[in-house]
A and B are shown apart, each in its own frame.
Chain A
Amino acid sequence: MWKNIYDWLDERLGLQSLYENLLDRPEPHGTWWNTLGSASLFLFVMQALTGIFLTVYYTPSPDHAYDSIQYIMNGVAFGWLIRGMHHWGATLMVLVVFIHMLRVFFSASYKYPRELTWMVGVMLFLLTLGMGFTGYLLPFNQRSYWATVVGTNIAGVVPGVGPFILKALRGGTDVSALTLSRFFSAHIWMLPAALAGLIGAHLYLIMRHGESAYPDADD
């Protein structure tokens, strides 16, 4: 019975070749440090899932953002858990991605033939920081508001293009309703889409070149 179902699916989906190509691959001996990449991916998926749940009740307007989060924390069943996991997931993700990058640096895994994997990885790291920065404003409390005022001010001191960047980020001269909707849009659509695409490229490159081996004294 199960065999029949499996065979039927295999014939159409090619499960056997998927297994052979994706999972049943040889790789060099790894250590626990090698799990940081998949941990980053896991955290990305967790952030996506909890984030999707949060958008059900979150309202990206200055009048309602704070109250909608209070409602998530106190009114919605297990809202506090979803919000708490999203909040701490952000912190952990920055940490894990950064340590993953350091691991790759220290084991020299960015050298031939994995140069492109490294560059995509650096962009993933920058995007993760961007997610942290844009997500920080969304609760629209004192802390997040003023941190964004200061953060965008820093972007504004670039000579020449500074004022333009400042206006583009804020949607005007001050942090306002437009800033909130811009950051919201960046946080739930633009940056995640870019992240997802680059994660795909990162994974493809890893499969193409295989997991790197730890160098020994001869390397």
Chain B
Amino acid sequence: MNEEYKNKVNKKYEKNLQKGERFWPDSIYKDLLISFAIFILLIGLASFVGVHPEPKVDPTDATYVPRPEWYFLFLFEFLKYFPGELEWVGATVIPGILVAALLLLPFYDKNPYRFYTKRTFALGLMSFIVGGMVTLTIKAATVITGPMALALFALVWGTLFFALHKRPEQKTATRKSLLWLATIGIFAIIGTAYVQTAALAGDEEEAVVANTIAEKMALGQDLYSLQCVECHGADGEGGTITVTAADGTEELLPVKAINTKDEMYTRNDETLYNIIAYGQPSLGMTPFGGAYGGELSTSEIEYIVTYLRYTWDDRAEVPADAVSSSIPALAEGEVPSYEVHISAVTKRYCVSCHREGKENNNYIMDNYEDLLNGGDNAPNIVAGDMNSILLQVIQGNEVNGQTGLIHVMPPSGKPLKDEYIDMFIRWVEAGMPNTAADAAALSTAAPAE
């Protein structure tokens, strides 16, 4: 770099300054306007989009698919092209070279020209890299596949390059409109891919995250109904379980009530958490934590603990917005439906055993079809038939079925509340309507009042 070149640059800059503007107020005004717009944008994003809730960390959950923050996605995607032994090349060598190249750019870019038509190589290379980063990010974040990504890359890079490459025969207006067209095309593709991805993501089952105590209690109650009712009873009243010892002998063990003051006062949340996670093998309780062979994640066990604490501990102040019971009461003359009433009862009292993978004569009770027609003793319940197996066993009568003697249900010995038994009877009488609308139609057919 010689003195002559420096002089030329400085002289040119002086000239630019003379026909330029003032820092204050010309450019400060624009700066403030943009900063204010960003401020409004931030408040808008925080208020209307918010922060996506994530479940609590569970270091033992090896099935979790990790994803970095979106601005590292391109690197994440890039690394997939360097499997196994080559990973360090993609992870360190290439990014390292790029960072060094970026940092030392002024030293090796010896091109004295500044106008873009005279810097075709530099601009082309940079467009290539940025286009690649954008495409890799889109490929990682959306449903776009390899060939589609390649086409998109050609479009992104082509647009950038086309915008910068000078062709004297072409009018500026034509070039500008073509540029706009390509830009709109790129955004249209990204937008479509994003919408498709969002639609797909909506289909996938996502972990529900509770934020308030009321939400934790509601989720905890559902989890308790599924995981705990089998042995501890619907209200933690306890019962009896059969434990198979190592030598194959079966032993009946009592399960003490866990809903007492004694239990709640002598065990803090951490102890409850640990009992659920690790189980109590000496007492016949298997571990429920995901790390120890159970089905529950860290957050889920916490929700159960919250539910137990706020339901049975008389010292806990239940928040005003907590829902105490989700089983709706029946009005006089109202016909219950599966959708609203029966499913709420079965969910609380039956499904813990009557689901896949449990000993239940293959009678699954978590959906309408199986409830009516499933099981080895099917049908367990028949419209209008007061001698249906299900109705008999919940009223305390043992029944002889195809599989032998069918015991009283629920097996813990504590019968369902009378109002729930009444609910089942009225439901069978009315013809076992599925939806609330069917039940309402049957209700109005009956004489009013």
Contacts and interface: CB of A to CB of B under 8 A. Distances in A.
Interface of A: 19, 22-30, 32, 34-36, 38-39, 42-43, 46, 62, 66, 70, 73-74, 80-81, 83-85, 87-89, 91-92, 94-96, 98, 102, 105-108, 110-115, 118-119, 122-123, 126, 129, 132-133, 136, 139-147, 149-151, 154-155, 157-159, 162, 174-175, 210-211, 213, 215-219
Contact of B43 (A81, A91, A96): A81
B103 interface: yes
A83 B1 CA distance: 50
B22 A39 contact: no
B71 A111 contact: no
Contacts of A157: 87-88, 91-92
A74 B211 contact: yes
Given A39-B34, A84-B45, A150 B115 contact: no
B57 interface: yes
Contacts of B102: 122
B91 A158 contact: yes
A216 B66 contact: no
A113 B34 CA distance: 27
Contacts of A74: 211-212
Interface in B1-36: 1, 5-6, 9-10, 12-13, 16-24, 26-28, 30-31, 33-35
B107 A102 contact: no
Nearest to A84: B46
B361 interface: no
A87 B50 CA distance: 9
Given A34-B27, A157-B92, A210-B17, A94 B71 contact: yes
A174 B59 CA distance: 10
Contacts, number: 229
Given A29-B19, A32-B30, A32-B34, A141 B115 contact: no
A122 B102 CA distance: 7
Contacts of B47: 81, 84
A142 B64 contact: yes
Interface in B101-116: 102-107, 109, 113-116
A218 B15 CA distance: 13
A34 B103 CA distance: 21
Contacts of A102: 126, 130
Nearest to B52: A143
Contacts of B28: 23
A27 B17 contact: yes
Contact of A136 (B19, B21, B69): B69
Highest count of chain A CB atoms <10 Å: which of B24, B43, B71, B164: B71
Nearest to B45: A88
A46 B39 contact: yes
A174 B33 CA distance: 46
B23 A80 contact: no
B123 interface: yes
B211 A73 contact: yes
Given A27-B27, A92-B41, A118-B105, A84 B54 contact: no
Nearest to B20: A28
A218 B303 CA distance: 69
B57 A142 contact: yes
Identify the 8 closest CB pairs spanning chains A and B, nearest first.
A84-B46, A146-B66, A115-B106, A215-B114, A141-B54, A23-B24, A213-B16, A38-B31
B117 A217 contact: yes
A17 to B, nearest CB: 14
Given A144-B57, A147-B69, A157-B91, 6 more contacts: A25-B24, A32-B34, A94-B71, A133-B69, A211-B23, A213-B16
Given A84-B51, A119-B103, A142-B55, A106 B109 contact: no
A113 B14 CA distance: 13
Contacts of A143: 54, 66-67
B281 interface: no
A88 B46 contact: yes
Nearest to B46: A84
A26 B18 contact: yes
A119 B449 CA distance: 84
B103 A35 contact: no
Nearest to A34: B27
Contacts of A29: 16, 19-21
Given A80-B46, A88-B49, A142-B56, A26 B116 contact: no
Contact of A211 (B27, B117, B212): B27
B50 A84 contact: yes
12 contacts: A28-B20, A29-B20, A38-B35, A39-B35, A84-B47, A85-B42, A87-B51, A88-B45, A88-B46, A92-B42, A113-B6, A126-B99
B420 to A, nearest CB: 34
